[in-house]
Amino acid sequence: MHLSRLPDLDKAEWVSLAEGLQLETRLFIDGDYVDALDGGRFATVNPATGEVLADMAEGTGADIDRAVSAARRAFRDGRWSKLAPRARMDILCRFADLIEEQAGMLALLDTLDMGKPIADMVSVDLPEVVKTVRFMAECIDKIDGKVTATEPNVLHCVLRQPFGVVGCISPWNYPLLMAVWKIAPALAAGNTVVLKPAEQAPLSCIRLAELFVAAGGPPGVFNVVNGLGETAGKALALHPDVAKISFTGSTEVGKLILQYSGQSNMKQVALECGGKSPQIVLADVSDLERAATAAACGIFGNQGEVCNAGSRMIVDRRIAGDFIDLFRKTAETSFIPGDPLDPSTRMGPLVTVEHRRRVMNYIEAGRREGARLVFGGDVPPSPGAYVNPTLFADAANGMTIAREEIFGPVGAVIPVDGLDEAIRVANDTVYGLAAGVWTSNLDTALRLVKEIEAGVVWVNCFDEGDMTQPFGGWKQSGNARDKCFESVVSYTQTKSAWIRHG
């Protein structure tokens, strides 16, 4: 069903569509669906109900090798990399059109697979997926090199060329969107791709590969291997014929990816890892209610399963009480756990029961270490992996809930006295993905933009942006830059040609 029709559907219509959904469980290699070589399977579960959705083909190192070989052949014979730029552009534009036409099916796959509210898929994820593919397609004929000034009998050219086979490992919190943030710029630059989706939510990525071929993409150019991170993901990162690996996920696994690069062929590594983003709310904020609303959306949106979630709210002590009251009002009226197939639901379940257990352990740590529980801290009566939105107050930056990435609907208010302390607390973290700043003073805002150690800083807003905005972190949040023209360029490497003539 076309994306334009989806906002009009009600819960009963979504449930009916879900009941008729056909699930593809195989791998996609060299332009076709195939079973895993050793016949292994793993279950993917609907976290809203606890029911098994499907038993997926479990790719292993042998399947990764098969996919990489297909991608390497496709790159070497030039069926994609040597296409005229406008020809690649046309295929990616058709790819975007097909995603838009099949948006209903793709939206359901992510909602059923990881619990994301269907309203988020319709209003955020799918529109951004289509926009990303189209933006990257439009970048293709904008990639250029340069000619330098040299002696008269020399022509020096700097060319940009694709790496070859790019391995992509995408996360489960935005299964479709985060995969497209990787594959679209890699393909736009002329590379071939092997994608290993997160095993917790693999269903939509398989369909992406099918749509790419349906759009005219040559076989072998885009391959998808489902499997576990410790087997298929590791095999992809270690493969000697993979020229670049792009990973989004935990900092812990990101460090392993760096090791695998060194243990194999020193492949290029692009990492977008964890975060513990601060939202600094100063006493001179012009609209405290707006700041509190944005802060609540910044931690409870997508169930808090967001790498740049603004989970550390660093609030001037003079306004902390009023901020908490306003924050609570938004949270308790807007973020009520519910059925993700209901368009009115803004908070679904966490991705797995195991992950819910991890989040609840963090909540218990917050209680144990002395933070004051304002609301939440428990689970609703439901068979699914739900956690109620939770807020702690009077937290200290040394507490576990303020240091470690929880990846769930848990926020902490850290009171501070003035700007200098706010900056110190904000930067006192191993992460540096994003930050929010709320102030009415331009000088203060500019100082914060310069001094906060993060790859993205929002001023008087949070989690906004468009395709021109590089998204990525500092420190242990990684080194990649997603979205933006820079992302396409990052999937190319330079070649210097020194030509003596005459």
Per-residue pLDDT of 383-420, as tens digits, reads: 899 999 999 999 999 999 999 999 999 999 999 999 99
Per-residue pLDDT of 40-82, as tens digits, reads: 999 999 999 999 999 999 999 999 999 999 999 999 999 999 9
Per-residue pLDDT of 274-307, as tens digits, reads: 999 999 999 999 999 999 999 999 999 999 999 9
Express as a percent the part of the chain with pLDDT over 70. 100
pLDDT band at 467 (very low <50, low <70, confident <90, very high): very high
φ, ψ of residue 422 to 5 degrees: the values are -60, -45
Which SS3 state, helix, strand or coil, does residue 185 take? helix
272 given a catalytic annotation: yes
| DSSP per-residue letters across 421-490 | HHHHHHH-SSEESEEEEE-S-HHHHHHHHHHS--SEEEESSSS---TTS-B--EETTBS--BSHHHHHHT
Mean pLDDT, range 333-342, rounded to an integer: 97
Mean pLDDT, range 261-269, rounded to an integer: 98
CA angle 231, 197, 41 (to 5 degrees): 55
What's the pLDDT score for residue 297?
97
**C-alpha torsion angle, residues 110, 112, 113, 114 (rounded to 10):** 80
**Would you kindly state where each structural domain of the chain is located, as residue ranges?**
3-18+26-273+478-496, 278-466
Gap between the terminal Cα atoms of the chain: 62
Q: Distance (Å, rounded) from C-alpha 113 to C-alpha 352?
A: 10
Q: Distance (Å, rounded) from C-alpha 63 to C-alpha 60?
A: 5
The answer to whether 319 and 417 are in contact (CB under 8 A) is no
The answer to whether 144 and 242 are in contact (CB under 8 A) is no
What's the pLDDT score for residue 148?
96
What's the pLDDT score for residue 131?
98
pLDDT band at 154 (very low <50, low <70, confident <90, very high): very high
What's the pLDDT score for residue 45?
97
Q: Distance (Å, rounded) from C-alpha 196 to C-alpha 13?
A: 32
Beta-strand runs (E) in 192-320: 192-196, 222-224, 244-248, 268-272, 278-281, 312-316
Which CATH code, of 3.10.310.10, 3.60.21.10, 2.20.25.160, 3.40.309.10, is assigned to 278-466?
3.40.309.10
As a residue count, the chain comes to 502
pLDDT band at 221 (very low <50, low <70, confident <90, very high): very high
What's the pLDDT score for residue 404?
98
Q: Distance (Å, rounded) from C-alpha 408 to C-alpha 33?
A: 35
Q: Distance (Å, rounded) from C-alpha 279 to C-alpha 309?
A: 9
The answer to whether 391 and 375 are in contact (CB under 8 A) is yes
Residue 502 has pLDDT above 90, yes or no: no
Express as a percent the part of the chain with pLDDT over 90. 99
| The two structure tokens encoding residue 436 | 């929010």
| Mean confidence (pLDDT) of the chain | 97
Mean pLDDT, range 472-478, rounded to an integer: 98
Residue 11 has pLDDT above 90, yes or no: yes
Strand-pairing partners, residue 500, are: 154
Q: What is the CATH number of domain 3-18+26-273+478-496?
A: 3.40.605.10
Strand-pairing partners, residue 438, are: 281
Of the residues 128, 199, 210, 272, which is catalytic? 272
What's the pLDDT score for residue 152?
94
Mean pLDDT, range 316-333, rounded to an integer: 97
